[in-house]
Structure 1
Amino acid sequence: MSYQQLPPPTGLPYLGPPPRQPSKYIHDPLAVALGNASLLGLGYFLIRRWLFGALGLIGTAVLVVLLCSQREPGYEFALIAWGLLQVVHGWFLASRQPLRAANLTKRLVALGVTLLVFAGVAFERYDAHRIDQEAVASRDAGSCDGVRDARAKYNLGHRIGDAPRTTRVETDVAACDRIDVASDRLRTAKASADVAGMQGGFNVLASVLAQPNQEHTVKTALDEFLNGLPVKDPCQTLAISDWLRARTKANNILDQANAAVPRIEPNALLGCGDAQAAAKDWPNARNIYAQLVTRYPHSKQADRARAGMKKADHEILQAKIRAELARVRGLVASGKYCETPAKFSLAPRLRPGVNRAVFTGADDYVSKLPSQWKGTTADNAALVICAGEDSQGPAVRTCQYEGIKGYVGVRSVTFHKIAVPVNVYELRTGRLIKKTTVQISGSACPATISFTTYYGVGSPDPDMDVTPTTATIQEAFRPLVVR
């Protein structure tokens, strides 16, 4: 409302302009302060300060967005400070002119809205705390599913009411995600006894265990791994138990894995030893049986392992003998035994009397030897006698021969023993026990001798061998086979 000044009446004194009437827009500071305390700019809107109201609402919205996205306690303090700033500023704006009468309606509206906002925030903070307690209880029970279910209950209201609290469960969920990765690794590695995979899974569990309050969730994953032992294949179980046995203890709950070894290892050792025996892998079978007897000498499985060791020893010896026999037979058959002597552990020992021998070389003479001196095969002989090319030995007698049938002249012919070099090997050990030359005697100076001429020209060889008999051949070879 405005007034126009009128000229004073004629003849009357001038008294000045009439007094200004108070504006009806003088505001209640308390109502404004209560309205701005809602962080919605309500106090500004009550006094029609639209710009300040919009700025207050926008500022609150920006801080709420930052709080929900960053979830840092600093943004909560920023919101409180922003609200206090609006309360002080609104009070200042409303109190620049004196208030004649309080506006109860505005105060009630402002108070109601502010209380409603505070009640909503308080409820969301309480509910966020309740959900957090559910997550903690699930974590302490080792249930990652429960932790994730609790995290799923958080909504925008909880993030506005207590954003920092909602981040704590995220840490637990992240830990559960890593535990799931470790569990998958352990599950896969356990199925194939992949030691490297198991080590990787335990490394992940150890890193999660280093975080606060994760003992129960890690133990759940560890129990799942241990409860799956033993696996179906005993040899794979043995590989796992060997790794667990060698694992370095860390003085935490993961050391429970080491404690599982005595529970699974005896049966694994016995089963794997039996599996190797069934596959005729006797050396490995014996080694595994021996580990069982050494580590668990008083276990019920140890008696079966001792019997398995005896059988394995027998089979190993038999395999060794078969291999030796096959090697000796091959060398004798190929005529290479003398170049590469080999032993046959079950060959008869040397004894007084006749010791059978396998002969190689000098077939013309060997054929005259008694059959009881000869081993038919390498496994029923005590000796291997290798004979070389025969040559002329010591001279026995020189005789004079006169030519006949037109040949004129006398020739001297010296008769020599037959020298046969021999190497004698003990077949049981493959060692050379005698290297000598057999001297075969025989008849010398026969009544006539024959020789070859070429076109009527020629003469007898001045050195000739004696003519051996079966008896002289046997006599020469007798010292080799008869002790």
Structure 2
Amino acid sequence: MSYQQYPPPQGLPYPGPAPKLPDRRPRDPLAVALGNASLLGLGYFLIRRWLFGVLSLAGTAVLVVLLCMQRKTGYEFALIGWGLLQVVHGWFLAQRHPVRTANLTKRLVALGVTLLVFGGVAFERYDVHRIDKDAVAARQAGDCPGVRAAQAKYNVGHRIGDAPRTVRVETDTDACDKIDAAAAVLRSARPEADTARLQVGFEMLAAVVAQPDQQATTRTALNEFLRGLPLKDACQTVAITEWLRGRAKAGNLLDEAKQIVPKIEPNALLGCGDAKLKSSDWTGARSTYVLLVQRYPHAKQTARAQAGIKKADYEILQAKIQAELARVRELVSSGDYCSTPAKYSPAPKLRSGLNRAVFAGSTDYTSKLPSQWKGTTADNAAMVICAGDDTQGAAVRTCPYQPFVGGGTGIHYVTFHKIAVPVQVYELRTGRLIQKTTVQISGSVCPATISYTTYNGIGAPDPDQYVRATNSTIQAAFRPLVVR
């Protein structure tokens, strides 16, 4: 079989591929513009401009990610601008097509998608506004848990719908975190009245209360701390009220903490004074009672405080007396009273007649004095008499003595002296030296015989000897000291 070659039709290039014919499918600029207004590149996809559609989606995705991360208003405007650019570009891109005709189906699809996108954004913005309103109401009520509950409702959709507004609630949440941290510090400081930690806690609250709109939340933390007062331990409560009283004014609501001081301090001072009195801290109890009387002279607790002051004064006096008595006894027993005299305030005053005395020092002669002259203890005597070592006093008489046969030769003369005892007399109630003298004890002289030692018949008696004292002569010498 044979074939005949016909010449190609006139006007068509031959041989070679057929030329690409122009796209004659009709395009609707309005549908393209509406589709691109969705920010999803739908208009580009309707006219099969795939590259522009992909670029539109990519640009939208980038701006949405940046908006969710940065949450700044500028990215919202960037998205609006990006959408307007696509609308205008899609419109003119469709207008340049040689065939333009209205397509109701495409318009409805484009409008529906765009309305769905904008409706979703509008709903998210509304929901963000609602959540923010709840957060503001919780913040104004001082309800930090409510603020956190509102903040927890935010999601990605809310950040896309109204990202900048979500940042404001997070600011409130951060403030609540700081307030809770300060409240925890105050709670830990309160039971032990740790004023150093109280200072830290108040400084933390002061940093938050300086922020706008955080008055109510800060007040909640402050009220929580104050509701824990007074403490069971009255003295710890006093420590806290003293710290609050001395805290410098800051010019903010934290200064209101001082208002609780006059409400709880009177009972706290009274209770603390009673506790110190019970534990025998007489001085501390008295100072606490005095503070109550000075600060709250018309309070109902003042009468009990005044009675407590009297009780404390009595106990302080008794403690002082006991300390004086113990000191005097110690000095007397150790023999150091005369070098370190001390007073015993309740000791009786010196009077006319017999005054009992505590005798210290040498007891060679004082031990022979009548018991009624002596104070058995330092608390029933008027004086302390310190006796020193005896020495030879005034000469009384000189007598000759002749030794026995075989005991030597010659006459020996012996002078007899009074017994001199130096004494110091102290008034016990003041510890003051009232007399310093030497007691001269008399006695018998010139006995018939005296004894002395010889060696090989050689020796002589001591030429100076003491008189022979008796109890009566000793008493007579000491009598002027005790009987006045």
Change in CA separation of 1:455 and 1:52 when aligned onto 2, cut-off 3 Å: farther
Cα distance in structure 2, aligned partners of 1:266 and 1:321: 32
Q: 1:26: how far off?
A: 5.0
- Residue in structure 1 matching 2:10, options 7, 11, 21: 7
Which deviations, in whole Å up to 9, do the C-alpha atoms of 1:311-361 show, x marking residues without a partner?
Answer: 111111111111211221122122222232221111111112221111123
Cα distance in structure 2, aligned partners of 1:43 and 1:21: 23
Q: 1:272: how far off?
A: 1.1
**1:419 maps to what in 2?**
420
**1:113 maps to what in 2?**
113
Cα distance in structure 2, aligned partners of 1:25 and 1:480: 147
Change in CA separation of 1:5 and 1:107 when aligned onto 2, cut-off 3 Å: farther
Report matched runs for 1:33-432 at 5 Å.
Answer: 33-406=33-406, 407-432=408-433
Q: 1:100: how far off?
A: 3.9
Which deviations, in whole Å up to 9, do the C-alpha atoms of 1:402-432 show, x marking residues without a partner?
Answer: 2222221112222222111112111111122
Q: 1:25: how far off?
A: 3.3
Cα distance in structure 2, aligned partners of 1:315 and 1:281: 9
Aligned residue for 1:313, secondary structure, equals helix
Aligned residue for 1:393, secondary structure, equals strand
Change in CA separation of 1:151 and 1:90 when aligned onto 2, cut-off 3 Å: same
CA contact (8 A) 2:27 2:101 kept: no
Cα distance in structure 1, aligned partners of 2:307 and 2:440: 56
**2:469 maps to what in 1?**
468
Which deviations, in whole Å up to 9, do the C-alpha atoms of 1:32-55 show, x marking residues without a partner?
Answer: 222111110111111211122111
Q: 1:278: how far off?
A: 1.5
Aligned residue for 1:132, secondary structure, equals helix
Q: Which moved more, 1:430-439 or 1:257-266?
A: 430-439
Aligned residue for 1:435, secondary structure, equals strand
Q: 1:273: how far off?
A: 1.0
Which deviations, in whole Å up to 9, do the C-alpha atoms of 1:186-241 show, x marking residues without a partner?
Answer: 22211221112222211111111011001111111111111221122212211111
Give the alignment's TM-score, normalised by structure 2.
0.93
Cα distance in structure 1, aligned partners of 2:164 and 2:202: 31
Q: Which amino acid aligns with 1:236?
A: Q
CA contact (8 A) 1:348 1:428 kept: yes
Cα distance in structure 1, aligned partners of 2:111 and 2:368: 136
**2:436 maps to what in 1?**
435
Cα distance in structure 2, aligned partners of 1:352 and 1:21: 152
CA contact (8 A) 2:41 2:53 kept: yes
Which deviations, in whole Å up to 9, do the C-alpha atoms of 1:70-127 show, x marking residues without a partner?
Answer: 2111211221222222223323332333444233322222222112211111111111
**2:446 maps to what in 1?**
445
Which deviations, in whole Å up to 9, do the C-alpha atoms of 1:268-297 show, x marking residues without a partner?
Answer: 111111111111221111111111111111
Change in CA separation of 1:453 and 1:25 when aligned onto 2, cut-off 3 Å: farther
Q: 1:244: how far off?
A: 1.1
Number of corresponding residues: 469
Give the alignment's TM-score, normalised by structure 1.
0.93
Aligned residue for 1:416, secondary structure, equals strand
Q: 1:28: how far off?
A: 2.7
Q: Which moved more, 1:468-477 or 1:161-170?
A: 468-477
Which deviations, in whole Å up to 9, do the C-alpha atoms of 1:123-174 show, x marking residues without a partner?
Answer: 1111101110111011111111111111122121111000010110101111
Q: Which moved more, 1:96-105 or 1:216-225?
A: 96-105
Aligned residue for 2:429, secondary structure, equals coil
Cα distance in structure 2, aligned partners of 1:21 and 1:102: 23
Q: Which amino acid aligns with 1:153?
A: K
Change in CA separation of 1:5 and 1:25 when aligned onto 2, cut-off 3 Å: farther
Q: Which runs of 4+ in 1 moved over 3 A?
A: 20-23, 97-100
Cα distance in structure 2, aligned partners of 1:324 and 1:242: 35
| Unmatched 5+ stretches in structure 2 | 1-6, 12-19
**1:16 maps to what in 2?**
none
Q: 1:368: how far off?
A: 2.6
CA contact (8 A) 2:94 2:100 kept: no
CA contact (8 A) 2:398 2:416 kept: yes
CA contact (8 A) 1:26 1:94 kept: no
CA contact (8 A) 2:328 2:342 kept: yes
Identity %: 71
Q: Which moved more, 1:356-365 or 1:93-102?
A: 93-102
